[in-house]
Amino acid sequence: MVTPLKNRASDEQEPAAPLRYSTAWDTTAASVTDARAAVRALLDRAGHHPGHRLSQDAQLIVSELVTNALRHAPGPGGLALEVSPDTGVLRIAVRDSSPQPPVLPEHDAGRVGGHGLHLVIRLCGRLQTVVHDTGKQVVAHLRLHPAAAPEPGIL
């Protein structure tokens, strides 16, 4: 008896591909609104409803990182989003033209502004900065499934 190929079980299954989105900008023409919409749509494709807190946290992180890039490093930049194949982690990478790492200001509840990185670190657990010849890339990883919270920190 011959079993049709489509009904045979494969010994090797191809790993699922990550879901990705990326964009680049030349100057301050980048839109923070578009960046939030992109992460919302990507997470929706990965099965995370846009109205849930996780999607809202991701939108806040993207908004803060893109805003910081536009405010402190005029010039070219970019945003790359990637949801891991198991949909367990969202990787958010924002690059800009300044080699200076983000500055985490001392916590001051009375200060207006300057709280964005504190929020990002709280939501992600850690923030990594990679310096390049032409600037830097700030990378945040957001867990998409409940897990033990990592120690907050900035790398």
Give 91-111 pLDDT, tens digit per residue: 999 999 999 998 888 878 787
Phi, psi of 25 (to 5 degrees): -135, 155
Residue 125: per-residue pLDDT: 72
pLDDT tens string 17-37: 899 999 998 876 778 999 999
pLDDT tens string 27-63: 767 789 999 999 999 999 999 999 999 999 999 999 9
pLDDT at 6 over 90: no
pLDDT tens string 137-148: 999 999 987 654
Quick one: tokens of 139?
């990378």
Distance CA(86)–CA(83), nearest Å, equals: 8
The reported pTM is: 0.81
Residue 1: per-residue pLDDT: 41
CB burial class (10 A; 0-12, 13-18, 19+) of residue 136?
A: buried
Residue 34: per-residue pLDDT: 93
The torsion of the CA quartet 23, 25, 31, 34, rounded to 10 degrees, works out to: -10
**Domains assigned to the chain:** 19-100+113-154 (3.30.565.10)
